[in-house]
Amino acid sequence: MRALLVTSVGVTCAAALTLPLAAPALSAPARPPSQAAESPGSGPPSVRAAELPVAESRAAAEAAGSTQSLPLEPLAAPSDRSMGAGAAAGQGLERRTARPFSLVGVVWDDADAELHGTVQVRTRAAGSANWSGWQDVETHNAEHAADLGSDERSSGAVRGATAPLWVGDSDGVEVRVLPEAADPQNRSAGAPLPEGLRLELVDPGPDPAPEPAAEAAPEPARAAPAGRSAATAAFAVNPAPPTTPVILPEVLTAESEAASAVNAELAPLGATFIPALTKAETVEAANVAAGAKPYIGPRPGIVTRKGWGADERLRERQFAYTRTVKAAFVHHSATGNNYTCKQAPSVLRSIYRYHVKSSGWRDFGYNFAVDKCGNIYEGRAGGVTKAVLGAHTLGFNSNTMGIAVLGSYSSTNPPAAAVTAVSKLTAWKLGLFGANPKGKVTLTSGGSNKYKAGVKVKMNVISGHRDGFATECPGARLYKKLGTARTSSAKLQGR
């Protein structure tokens, strides 16, 4: 069996090969063949798991994570006085024990229906009797989705959904969904709740762990650039990784091999990390013409989908591309800030499963993610240098990329490390496509609650989600930092 030499979650590799500057041809997403369903009660039946023999599928699902999907029930009245007198009755679930989970959300049948009201949950920490207080779940999440009329949106699998909320290791849950109260003054009866409300409890599964070995195998043959040691190319997550290398057996399915192969010019097949390059190395790898001004930032280190443990059997097999990358939209994930950087891969696996299994999307919605420590992660599959079509900014997914900063930043300041990571990522990725981070760009709306389909909109090359859609995202505090990100990104490009 082939093996990869790894350090912590990263492969120590400093390969500097040619970056593809030409965007691939436009490709429409295709729906996958029918696949075997998860066990009863673990997810909506129209969103399927990978097609495997029953015993193998069940064992693989337990190793890779799972989803419990629980229909909500009518509530006679709010379950405590904190909601105020006269609050409308809604739907929910009383306190109950569940299989372990770490992320929650609520979905409903009609993707075009809006949930006008409030969603709150409280959870019990796994293995204890300690219940959290009520936590708000962001109800407006439709703006993070595939464009109207796209193959992904029109698949028939897409559902309405709240934003997901990270709650950590839990085994008990209570939820209440309350509609907007009637307004006698305006003679408003309040909007009814959407049909088919279900609580989704997501278990991300264990982190991918290397197996110890008696001796280290040699690194796949790729030389490090001159003056660059393997140690400087290694990925350091918080806390720092061990210095003793271990062996991770390379077991690649067809789907995981395909997801890795699109980055093969940047790192070996099966790599968990794409190493950073200096600006000079990046320019050399990008084949900038002699004498031309290379407006491109140094390539940052990027944790691959394999590095954060994406189960490639969940997503659709084919990749979808747009023509180019003219702009970047910055988001917050709205999953809360109660996570550690060591848990970030688990948060990503949970969001990924929620996007695909619960919401019915073809893949993880964002092109990239950034955690609070400034680590950068590959998002939607298709290749980090390519113009991958995402589902992040309703109406403006074409010819753009979406970056999600993990957390909620409406009333909390984003860490400086996260803002710096956004600057580094945009300086490099926008530079591959000739975009100026401090510039303006004209985009054509695919339809949103802010701009009708076909309307041409002039925006910043680095914009916040709210610039294309009437939404709180990326949170007021993160939005205020985008000016800093633009300036830093342009400086990294040499502008």
Give 121-153 pLDDT, tens digit per residue: 999 999 999 999 999 999 976 677 777 778 888
User: At 107, phi and psi to the nearest 5?
Assistant: -125, 165
Q: Is the pLDDT of residue 363 over 70?
A: yes
Task: Provide the 8-state DSSP code for 321.
Answer: B
Name which of 402, 398, 450, 439 is nearest 422 in CA terms. 402
Residue 246 to residue 108: CA distance in whole angstroms = 45
Q: How confident is the model at residue 478 (pLDDT cuts 50, 70, 90)?
A: very high
- Per-residue pLDDT at 395: 84
Interval 453-480 mean pLDDT: 89
Residue 169 to residue 125: CA distance in whole angstroms = 6
How are the residues of the chain apportioned to helix, strand and coil, as percentages rounded to the nearest 5? 20, 25, 55
Name which of 444, 426, 398 is nearest 26 in CA terms. 398
CB 27 within 8 A of CB 320: yes
Name which of 369, 436, 440 is nearest 404 in CA terms. 369
- Per-residue pLDDT at 123: 98
- Per-residue pLDDT at 20: 39
List Cβ neighbours of 130 (8 Å cut-off, separation of 6 or more). 124
DSSP-assigned beta bridge partners for residue 330: 403, 464
Interval 15-42 mean pLDDT: 37
Q: Is the pLDDT of residue 479 over 90?
A: yes
The model carries a pTM of: 0.78
Work out the mean pLDDT of the chain and round it to a whole number. Answer: 79
Q: Is the pLDDT of residue 325 over 70?
A: yes
Which range is least confidently modeled, 217-226, 262-271, 472-481? 217-226
- The secondary structure element, H or E, covering residue 176 is strand 165-179
CB 18 within 8 A of CB 277: no
Q: Extract the tokens encoding 2.
A: 């082939």
Q: Is the pLDDT of residue 217 over 70?
A: no
Interval 56-67 mean pLDDT: 59
- Helices then strands, counting H and E runs in the chain, come out as 9, 20
Q: Is the pLDDT of residue 213 over 80?
A: no
Q: Is the pLDDT of residue 417 over 50?
A: yes
CB-CB neighbours of 128 under 10 Å: 11
For residue 247, the SS3 value is: strand
Q: How confident is the model at residue 189 (pLDDT cuts 50, 70, 90)?
A: low
CB 349 within 8 A of CB 309: yes
Interval 321-334 mean pLDDT: 95
CB 92 within 8 A of CB 121: no
Q: Is the pLDDT of residue 358 over 90?
A: yes
Q: What is the pLDDT of residues 269-297, one digit of tens each?
A: 999 999 999 999 999 888 665 556 779 99
- Per-residue pLDDT at 322: 94
- Per-residue pLDDT at 12: 33
Residue 306 to residue 312: CA distance in whole angstroms = 9
Do β-strands 91-108 and 165-179 pair in parallel, antiparallel, or remain unpaired?
antiparallel
List Cβ neighbours of 284 (8 Å cut-off, separation of 6 or more). 16
Residue 399 to residue 176: CA distance in whole angstroms = 39
Half-sphere exposure of 93 toward its Cβ, with a 13 Å CA cutoff? 21
Dihedral over alpha carbons 49, 53, 54, 57 (to 10 degrees): -40
- Per-residue pLDDT at 182: 55
Q: What is the pLDDT of residues 158-181, one digit of tens each?
A: 999 999 999 999 999 999 999 987
- Per-residue pLDDT at 17: 35
CB 388 within 8 A of CB 456: no
Half-sphere exposure of 252 toward its Cβ, with a 13 Å CA cutoff? 21
Q: Extract the tokens encoding 231.
A: 């140690």
Q: Extract the tokens encoding 13.
A: 């590799």
CB 485 within 8 A of CB 423: yes
- Per-residue pLDDT at 298: 97
